[in-house]
């Protein structure tokens, strides 16, 4: 059993794909006679589709309805993004290095499972992920730490030995509240918006499994 783990958020971390999510939300809103701005979307990065849809329709939306409407939006996103898909710079070599170093690898995303497999399979990296936590497995969205605590438990690695990669303020807060080290990925927000992170990076260029181990050793 590995002593260390890395847990990745997905959107804005594995890929700089949030511009396509923004477009999809705006198209989805227009289709339903509603209006949402790019700022409305970015301010809720890290939230679940249920949170987004409740905001958009200005009422509490139940889980079943949220799943149905959310998948409608996600199909728009996947259609928009599928021809533009590419991993964030350095991601694949970093994941391969972590795997070679014996570091456990997990995903903790507020997105539905359909999007998780779309990205992991699209980048041919599913085989490296021991644990995938998606929106269907949690009851509370970020900034609640539930998603990362569940990932830690399933990975079999204590929270203090986990390094989270997040691009949103809600996500950074969730990781910190879980008792983990957090690296903020600067794809979606400015550095001052992710100031609670332990480390700020633009991508994964030059990062290795040893980078993770050195960050987590300080807790020993």
H-type alpha helices, the chain:
18-31, 38-42, 49-57, 63-81, 91-100, 113-122, 146-155, 169-177, 209-217
- Which member of 9, 11, 16, 167 is catalytic? 9
- Cβ contact 159:152 at 8 Å: yes
Q: What are phi and psi of 117, to 5 degrees?
A: -70, -35
Residues 135, 69 contacting (CB under 8 angstroms): no
Q: How far apart are CA 78 and CA 83, in angstroms?
A: 9
Residue 51 is among the residues annotated as catalytic for this protein: no
Starting from the edge strand earliest in sequence, which strands make up the sheet with 104-108, in order?
A: 131-133, 104-108, 5-8, 162-166, 181-185, 199-201
Residues acting as catalytic residues: 9
């Amino acid at each position: 059993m590995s002593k260390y783990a890395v847990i990745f958020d997905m959107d804005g971390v594995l890929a700089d794909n949030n511009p396509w999510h923004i477009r999809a939300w705006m198209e989805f809103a227009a289709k339903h006679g509603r209006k949402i701005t790019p700022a409305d979307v970015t301010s809720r990065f890290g939230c679940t589709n249920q949170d987004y849809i409740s905001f958009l329709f200005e009422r509490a939306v139940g889980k079943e309805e949220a799943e149905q409407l959310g998948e409608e939006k996600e199909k728009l996103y996947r259609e928009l993004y599928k021809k533009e898909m590419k991993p964030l710079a350095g991601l694949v070599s970093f994941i391969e290095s972590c795997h070679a170093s014996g570091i456990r690898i997990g995903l903790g995303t507020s997105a539905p499972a359909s999007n998780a497999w779309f990205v992991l399979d699209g980048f041919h990296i599913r085989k490296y992920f021991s644990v995938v936590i998606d929106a269907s497995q949690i009851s509370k969205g970020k900034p609640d730490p539930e998603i990362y605590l569940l990932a830690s438990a399933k990975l079999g690695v204590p929270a203090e030995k986990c390094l989270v990669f997040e691009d949103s303020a809600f996500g950074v807060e969730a990781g910190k509240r879980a008792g983990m080290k957090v690296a903020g990925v600067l794809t979606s927000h400015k550095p001052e918006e992710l100031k609670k992170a332990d480390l700020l990076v633009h991508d994964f260029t030059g990062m290795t499994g040893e980078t993770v181990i050195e960050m987590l050793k300080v807790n020993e």
